[in-house]
Chains A and B, each alone.
Chain A
């Protein structure tokens, strides 16, 4: 059925399997007196790591090729061949050289590393106990690693006036905790290509801000949250809503309906000491019931439903020769379109995301079936995503003041909630979903959490709709690559014939494909976009790692494919609870009622800023300023 697939494009920032080619050692140096083989072009830090010599680091993040050299903690002492004196250099930016004598451990050096961290703390919010990152903070770690024992220079007055941007429903940016590593800027600029974050001010006031001095809420930021994943401290984080969620669950007057996303179950076990990629779906259900959730639903069910709606919509659009159609389940992608490319809004599928489909039906269909007063229902979502927090307050998705989904908790907040209630996920017995209306899912719904999953699920169902029989090999391996942009040609048969599709993850490759579409160079029919590299399994709301970026991407993905493989039902249209929904409530896909409940629209929110020279001059910081 698949005629052709190609991997085009950008693979930056995406984990790749280690290459088999080991370049030959080209130079010889010593580290702490021991001879080491260095490679041309590598830094001292890279060489030291290869030889298992530990050098404390803070701002550097190897996985995204980021070494701004700003923290100055990774100091080493070097002596060049034939030189009579030594120099101190930052090992993360200094290249290896033949004959270099490197010392990582002299007493003077250790003292300077200690002083460096002490200076970092001199204007860093010291209220660690209230910090979202407490106990999981790279700055705390490095203070321990360098043996910091005093804090002579801290002055709270220096921290007091630092900006804290709480405007966004999704992200909080607290500059009292920033250490100016610039990782967030790098991931936003080079990784995602959004380029919303900039460096503002100078001297002690240097901080990270949004372009043109805008607030997070009103800026070009799409709330993908990748910046949160790389932040070494608590400077960036999600808006914590664990208390709101707990209050709802404790309120006896309310019926709390909790749903969790496809990717959450495979990216949560690590927090409790389970191997990365473990499927903890059953334990999550148990935990939610222990916490007091009244009804536990599965967003996977919503994913199956989305396939019915979006697949039908897509076939209509293909018949009308409208192309391409972009998927619409990723809220950061929707923000990206509305903020950066509003002209392509007509190409977006109108189908709501699985979270919103579940939310809206949990307040209409579900109470009708179960005989509950809809006003008592509160919907809580657990999502691997920060943008989902932004999505639920979209005015299109709030009706007469009642949101379809009331609270979104990121995977991180859910972990925090369990810690607060002292629930050890690892020791919980697994349970199963028991809601007879909105919790069953097919293998197609399960793979929504990874790049290419939506596409694969859609093709399984569209093939059936067009041909009246199931696709023979449901696992479409050709779609399962990991490159930034993958395209394929699919023979759907029947009246539709051949369709050209693309799957894209990460916003940098996305921008590339959008530009191609806008310039008329693309002949694609359907394009799946996931804003986060890897898809939802590596979303901005997933658990943070220290000194690593997306380390578990492939393991989480493999587990999702495993779930699909082991499902009896592997096509969305064969989900019996979805079939019942259409039979008993909606009629058929894209029916009027379905349109009313499950489809939405988009608005132009492009940031158009023009500045005057006067404004820019007022903000210049330099000596020799004339005006």
Chain B
């Protein structure tokens, strides 16, 4: 366990340099997982927005503080006065000092500028980047003075990392403040460019993302979170039509030889994202897909009133524009095996086959073949075919949807559009517990879906082998358990029959049975998902990686796309170097996360409330009858306004390590 030698954190001064404990009235903070950065590379010091910790007395404060300020100066947007000039002046002064040169500024002036930046900057970057410097100057000035007296500082290794709560919350680590900034700057194409660095499906994500970023957005302390998803959709939709950004082979910096082929199994968000990055790395990529169109769950699982097919297809087309190939109607386990892929010369395989088999309710008299019984995913597939004009499906009478996730909401709202008389959603927990997006729930309520919370099915009722209803029971919450989580239990004697013509079980999905066989050599985990190493998504079989729902269980689009990028990096490393590589930025995030460095601190001073813009929407009474897209794109005026709401909660963190940190992405 690495011990703090000295430091300042949240204004509390720690000092244990003499080994004695004369100043031990401040208990040392316990820091988790900071002994070494990468294997055999000791962390000597850590600097952040709230202060700094020195683990090794030999660390040069001047050099470390320069590193922190250099990152801030490099990333400053250059609009507000104190940050744009302060970061540069202080960086240059520290740079002179660390090289033993005469500094243009004295320590007094450096401190004055640091105070100016901290107290008067417009955004989080300027407000926080000099806090460690200020703390060092105030509490350990003699250390700095002694370093100056010694002259040139010893060379130090390390890295700096700038992030924000919204970035850390996003599985794909999209640089959210930056893309919002570019909108404000008047450059929507640059904004889209930021997103395209991480995945190709921006317009899709801008429509259906579950928005972890908005949950982390600090604007909520003022009024409401910034409409990050809305803005993403705006920039993505801006780039359609004749003025669209163009993709092409020229994007590929170093095309690789014809033998550098990778197979991606599954054309869903994870597969498409992985293929995109592999193509950009120069590989030749084939995507093998069981269906006859790309998109996976985004195509069949998300109804067109939320995600029009042409929007999705415009984005999956990017794969073709980059030279990738879709091979449709090729199902793993049916048309080919993993061995076949290697036999055909693919150097690596990415499995992204999703979880496309519905999970049964596990209640009495449940028979998936019974007329009137549908799984959530099976029903959405029918809806897809209906909208595509392949097979007309009509519903009549009452429909009961069981489940509280987004798939359940999609089923309920689609059922209305397919002609159901009334749609009920049965969910065993409370509304607050629903995993579905609250906007989705609200939209369903607006369209007339009836919700039954704390209600659970116990038996399926049929007449002559056809579903006529479902027996349900009322649930109640149990006392919170040790982790504060409340379970539910049935209230005896509350059983009753809810009649319906159709029952849709939308409580979850799993990997399709038979896709992978024991001969494929791929191990499953205890949840029946493909077992992967979380750091690099490697499966039990060398050269085979897996991500998206098939590795994690049913999850989000953004999670799948993040997996695609991670897998692409791993595959690139594995093919070129025979092993996957250490990712310094990932390690940095781990330290922040393990130690809760990114404080979710409230906004301390008054900020003028500016409530967020909302998508123009079709009227619920009209839209519930059709599959046209409900939400529309916002106008440029609205986008400019919304972009101005971002408070840019950037923070800078850096480490000083014993050895150089290996290059990563």
Q: Which residues of chain A from 72 to 91 have any CB-CB distance to chain B below 8 Å in the complex? A: 72-73, 75, 78, 80, 87-90
> Could you say which of B78, B197, B640 contacts A626, with CB atoms under 8 Å apart?
B197
CA distance A87 to B193 in the complex (A): 37
Q: Which residues of chain A from 150 to 175 have any CB-CB distance to chain B below 8 Å in the complex? A: 152-153
Given known contacts A87-B605, A206-B79, A616-B245, is B84 in contact with A197 (CB within 8 Å)? no
> Could you say which of A94, A185, A211 contacts B608, with CB atoms under 8 Å apart?
A94
B22 adjacent to chain A (CB < 8 Å):
no
A97 adjacent to chain B (CB < 8 Å):
yes
Q: A620–B197 contact, CB under 8 A?
A: yes
CA distance A195 to B185 in the complex (A): 11
> Could you say which of A87, A116, A623, A627 contacts B162, with CB atoms under 8 Å apart?
A623
Q: Which residues of chain B from 112 to 149 have any CB-CB distance to chain A below 8 Å in the complex? A: 112-113, 116, 119-122
Most chain A C-beta atoms within 10 Å of own C-beta, residue among B75, B193, B565: B193
Q: B194–A88 contact, CB under 8 A?
A: no
Q: A189–B89 contact, CB under 8 A?
A: no
Q: B residues within 8 A CB of A624?
A: 167, 173, 175, 197, 585
Given known contacts A614-B251, A620-B194, is B185 in contact with A199 (CB within 8 Å)? yes
B367 to chain A, nearest CB (A): 49
A177 to chain B, nearest CB (A): 15
Q: B607–A94 contact, CB under 8 A?
A: yes
Q: B82–A119 contact, CB under 8 A?
A: yes
Q: A residues within 8 A CB of B606?
A: 78, 80, 89, 94-97, 100
Contact-residue bracket for chain A: 35 or more
CA distance A610 to B247 in the complex (A): 11
Given known contacts A87-B604, A122-B89, A203-B88, is B194 in contact with A69 (CB within 8 Å)? no
B244 adjacent to chain A (CB < 8 Å):
yes
Q: Which residues of chain A from 515 to 569 have any CB-CB distance to chain B below 8 Å in the complex? A: none
Q: B residues within 8 A CB of A80?
A: 605-606
Q: B190–A43 contact, CB under 8 A?
A: no
- Chain A 366-406: CB-based contact to B (< 8 A → 1; otherwise 0): 00000000000000000000000000000000000000000
- Chain A 186-213: CB-based contact to B (< 8 A → 1; otherwise 0): 0001100001011111111110000100
B2 to chain A, nearest CB (A): 26
A612 adjacent to chain B (CB < 8 Å):
yes
B99 adjacent to chain A (CB < 8 Å):
no
Q: A residues within 8 A CB of B89?
A: 119, 122, 153
CA distance A72 to B192 in the complex (A): 30
A136 to chain B, nearest CB (A): 22
CA distance A623 to B176 in the complex (A): 11
Q: A622–B178 contact, CB under 8 A?
A: yes
Q: B residues within 8 A CB of A96?
A: 606
A123 adjacent to chain B (CB < 8 Å):
yes
> Could you say which of B77, B120, B193 contacts A75, with CB atoms under 8 Å apart?
B120
Q: Which residues of chain A from 462 to 513 have any CB-CB distance to chain B below 8 Å in the complex? A: none
Q: A residues within 8 A CB of B210?
A: none
B85 adjacent to chain A (CB < 8 Å):
yes
A60 to chain B, nearest CB (A): 13
Q: B residues within 8 A CB of A197?
A: 186
Q: A78–B116 contact, CB under 8 A?
A: no
CA distance A624 to B192 in the complex (A): 15
Q: A616–B77 contact, CB under 8 A?
A: no
Q: B605–A94 contact, CB under 8 A?
A: yes
Q: A71–B76 contact, CB under 8 A?
A: no
CA distance A195 to B184 in the complex (A): 12
Q: A residues within 8 A CB of B186?
A: 185, 189, 195, 197-199, 211
> Could you say which of A41, A89, A123, A627 contacts B85, with CB atoms under 8 Å apart?
A123
B442 adjacent to chain A (CB < 8 Å):
no
Chain B residue at minimal CB-CB distance from A71: B81
Q: A residues within 8 A CB of B173?
A: 624
Q: B247–A613 contact, CB under 8 A?
A: yes
Chain A residue at minimal CB-CB distance from B177: A622
Q: Which residues of chain B from 160 to 199 have any CB-CB distance to chain A below 8 Å in the complex? A: 161-162, 167, 173, 175, 178, 184-187, 189-190, 192-194, 196-198
A52 adjacent to chain B (CB < 8 Å):
no
CA distance A200 to B184 in the complex (A): 11
CA distance A94 to B605 in the complex (A): 8
B563 to chain A, nearest CB (A): 15
Q: A residues within 8 A CB of B75?
A: 202-203, 621-623
B246 adjacent to chain A (CB < 8 Å):
yes
8 contacts between A and B (CB under 8 A): A80-B605, A94-B606, A115-B113, A119-B86, A180-B78, A199-B184, A613-B193, A625-B197
10 closest Cβ contacts across the A-B interface? A206-B78, A198-B186, A199-B185, A616-B193, A119-B85, A622-B178, A203-B78, A95-B608, A88-B119, A70-B79
Known A96-B606, A626-B665; 5 more pairs at CB < 8 Å: A41-B608, A613-B193, A617-B196, A620-B193, A622-B194
Interface residues in chain B, defined as those with a beta carbon under 8 Å from any beta carbon in chain A? 71, 73-82, 84-86, 88-89, 109, 112-113, 116, 119-122, 161-162, 167, 173, 175, 178, 184-187, 189-190, 192-194, 196-198, 242-248, 250-251, 253, 277, 280, 565, 585, 604-609, 636-637, 640, 665
Interface residues in chain A, defined as those with a beta carbon under 8 Å from any beta carbon in chain B? 41, 43, 68-73, 75, 78, 80, 87-90, 93-97, 100, 112, 115-116, 119-120, 122-123, 152-153, 180, 182, 185, 189-190, 195, 197-206, 211, 608-614, 616-617, 619-627
